[in-house]
Amino acid sequence: MSTIDTDEDVIDNDEPVLSMENVSVEYQDESLLESALPDSLTERLGMGEEPVHAVDDVSLEVGEEDVVVLIGESGSGKTTLGRTAIGLQEPTAGSVKYRGYDIQDVERGEHAGEVYAEDVRRALQIVHQDSDAAMNPYRTIRSQLAEPLKLWYPEMDLNDRQERIATMLRTTGVTPAEDYMERYPHELSGGEKQRVAIIRAMLLEPDLILADEVVSALDVSLRIEIMDLLLDLQEMFGTSYLFVSHNLTNARYIADKADGRIAVMYLGRIVEVGTADEIINDPSHPYTQILKWASLPLDPDDARKTITDESPMMSEEAPDPRNIPSGCRFHTTCPKAHEVCTEVDPDLIGGEEREHRAACFREDPSHEYWDSESIHGGDREIPL
């Protein structure tokens, strides 16, 4: 299909679509700050003013037509990192650049004449898990899809707009398009609504879409359909995706098909990054290994994990993002933690930006880790 003539390629350079450097995001509990409770009482209740360290010193690049999947358990910081990547959340430290321009600087108008906040906002779109929340129940699909086009391309006439919407609906399998355009959200199934949400973001031909748990609420068969749709659209429009998921099977599917990467998050930090094959078939970090252990068998005929397998985690307690453990933040749970892990915080080890890397001393055969005592009286195996 033809694409919108945006003549918006104001930024034509070789810089990555997104580059995040040493990004941290902390949330201060506003309710606590505004609370009328005296300090002595909040302290006694254990309600200190320690902020939530949602994202901590993360660096990551997303290139042209790239797919990066952020995976990790609930609260690991995936959504916060994603929102920070597209400028919806200001980082507490570090920088997020869109094609070499710091997004927050652009927001403040510091690159006026070269790039404007509107360019960046159009270029970096989001699709949420909850398509209902993103839709107005009282307006037809036609009207909801026309809205962003009117906003971003005011010069586009009514016919062009209608044609654009109908073509996009047809292309994405929402047919008969004319029929769907007159429907209201409640007349659509969950999968159809998610398609419409994706179309709405894609109509603006963004450079990158943050797809935040977009398939999590759908049945398994629909999940594949929607991920395939994203991949088809990527081919047509050259879009990059930052795909957030807590599900290793989905992460593997989309990263594998798109030749992308998976970044595993734990307590605000990327602890391992690599291709789908590296992360699923050869995970290096004990946390990734445990994630794999805890996932359903990827192949139903390959049920290697049995209910008799003992949990390899040394603690079942949920980690506290207000109180990050010293050293390696995973050491309290890690079955392979040594003394040094309680003291020193490991960086990603293993190579350059796009290579398989893990934040674990075990990646370095000459690290003092190997001479340091296990904190559990010996390393425990993780059954995979």
Ligand X SMILES: Nc1ncnc2c1ncn2[C@@H]1O[C@H](COP(=O)(O)OP(=O)(O)OP(=O)(O)O)[C@@H](O)[C@H]1O
Closer to ligand X by Cβ: residue 80 or 172: 80
Closer to ligand X by Cβ: residue 92 or 372: 92
Binding test (CB under 6 A) with ligand X, winner from 18, 52, 103, 214: 52
122 binding ligand X? (CB under 6 A): no
State the Cα–Cα distance between residues 111 and 25, nearest whole angstrom. 24
Written as one string, the DSSP assignment of 257-285 is HHT-EEEEEETTEEEEEEEHHHHHHS--S
Amino acid making up residue 239 = T
- Residue 356 corresponds to which tokens in the numbers above? 């398989």
Q: Report in angstroms how near the CB of residue 207 gets to ligand X at its nearest.
A: 22
Closest CA to 48 of 68, 67, 28, 66: 28
Binding test (CB under 6 A) with ligand X, winner from 54, 124, 262, 273: 54
Can you name the residues that pair with 101 across neighbouring β-strands?
98
Binding mask 228-267 for ligand X (x = CB under 6 A): ------------------x---------------------
Alpha-carbon separation of residue 349 from 58, 150, 353, 363 (angstroms) = 14, 47, 10, 6
Alpha-carbon separation of residue 210 from 46, 84, 124, 214, 268 (angstroms) = 36, 10, 8, 9, 18
Closest CA to 287 of 268, 306, 302: 268
Q: Report in angstroms how near the CB of residue 1 gets to ligand X at its nearest.
A: 34
Binding mask 22-51 for ligand X (x = CB under 6 A): -----x------------------------
Q: Report in angstroms how near the CB of residue 216 gets to ligand X at its nearest.
A: 9
Closer to ligand X by Cβ: residue 204 or 263: 263
Closer to ligand X by Cβ: residue 26 or 363: 26
72 binding ligand X? (CB under 6 A): yes
Total chain residues near ligand X (CB under 6 A) = 13
129 binding ligand X? (CB under 6 A): no
Closer to ligand X by Cβ: residue 118 or 320: 320
Binding test (CB under 6 A) with ligand X, winner from 23, 60, 78, 172: 78
80 binding ligand X? (CB under 6 A): yes
329 binding ligand X? (CB under 6 A): no
Closer to ligand X by Cβ: residue 212 or 363: 212
Helices within the chain (DSSP H only): 30-33, 39-44, 78-85, 103-107, 117-123, 141-152, 158-171, 177-181, 190-202, 220-237, 248-258, 276-281, 286-294
- Residue 210 corresponds to which tokens in the numbers above? 């943050």
Closer to ligand X by Cβ: residue 82 or 185: 82
State the Cα–Cα distance between residues 59 and 21, nearest whole angstrom. 4
Can you name the residues that pair with 36 across neighbouring β-strands?
none
75 binding ligand X? (CB under 6 A): yes
The torsion region of residue 267 among left (phi > 0), alpha (psi -120 to 50) and beta comes to left
Binding test (CB under 6 A) with ligand X, winner from 24, 76, 172, 333: 76
DSSP SS3 for 16:
coil
291 binding ligand X? (CB under 6 A): no
Summarize as ranges the residues that interact with ligand X (CB under 6 A): 27, 52, 54, 72, 74-80, 246, 321
